[in-house]
Amino acid sequence: MTSSEVTLSTSEGRIYVKTWNSNKGAESEKAPIVLFHDSLGSVRLWRSFPEHLAEATGRTVIAYDRLGFGQSDAHPGTLNKRFILEEAEATFDAVRQALNIHQFIAFGHSVGGAMAAACAAHYPDDCLALITESAQAFVEDRTVAGIEDAKVAFAEEGQVDRLARYHGDKAGWVLSAWIDTWLSEDFQDWRLDETLKQVHCPVLAIHGDDDEFGSPIHAERYTELPEGPATLKLLKGCGHVPHREQEEDVLEVVREFLG
């Protein structure tokens, strides 16, 4: 297993990217898996999962910090209602061009799953498969309640400092970009339905039955609305981060799906 890091200069700012290569000969020449992190996430917060995913699938795995997160440059403002779609149209496109990524597999966690779906819809000829994990398709009451609970928890002393380990002085912006965006009145009617209807590649939707930020209804949307073949994997006793809580199960179902 080898890994490499690069910081790309884009029109929006510098974007940090890390790549893991399984070194399994012809297998590593297959379409890479691109990871899209969650609302508080970063490349580092994927921890060892990208390496394990590369080993399990024999594919190159690529992860990047969105603008405003991790080791990428600060975001110049606030997130608008189209920020999920714009990730596919702007930052991911810049990463794609810089790394010469043609065909790819989109894999996203939480809001990153919605972004992965947006990429699958935006690049239908190149996205060979879509894998989502705990992804939201609309603003559910459970989603709002979970974020409100998190808002209270992050108000406690030292909690934002934990985020700063991964985001530096951008931690306050990262927290606000999640909480304030999702709880804003303007965002409450957000839905991904039309985007999902434009997805034609095979879909794997992974969801925990104890996910505090969304019921299995979301995974059902991800498997019912796209036109191509779809698989829903509901993990028992699992919360919002399946790749950390039940990593072996996630790796196995992904390996079977891609195989």
In this model, does residue 28 exceed pLDDT 60? Answer: no
CB contact at 8 A, 192 and 138: yes
Tell me which residue of 100, 70, 98, 85 sits closest to 193, measured CA to CA.
Answer: 85
CA 142 – CA 10 distance, rounded (Å): 36
CA 257 – CA 253 distance, rounded (Å): 6
Q: Where does residue 25 fall: left (phi above 0), alpha (psi -120 to 50 degrees), or beta otherwise?
A: left
Tell me which residue of 35, 79, 211 sits closest to 140, measured CA to CA.
Answer: 211
In this model, does residue 23 exceed pLDDT 90? Answer: no
Residue 256's pLDDT is 98
In this model, does residue 236 exceed pLDDT 70? Answer: yes
Residue 162's pLDDT is 92
CATH architecture of 2-258: 3-Layer(aba) Sandwich (3.40)
CB contact at 8 A, 34 and 104: yes
Q: Which residues contact 222 (CB under 8 A, 6 or more apart)?
A: 113, 117, 130, 132, 135, 137, 196, 203, 205, 230, 232
In this model, does residue 26 exceed pLDDT 80? Answer: no
Its pTM stands at 0.97
Please report which residue ranges of 81-216 form alpha helices under DSSP H: 83-86, 92-99, 111-122, 141-154, 159-167, 171-183, 193-196
Cβ atoms < 10 Å from Cβ of 229: 11
Q: Write out pLDDT tens, residues 87-122.
A: 999 999 999 999 999 999 999 999 999 999 999 999
In this model, does residue 58 exceed pLDDT 90? Answer: yes
Q: What is the mean pLDDT of residues 45-64?
A: 97
Residue 166's pLDDT is 97
Q: Write out pLDDT tens, residues 142-173.
A: 999 999 999 999 999 889 999 999 999 999 99
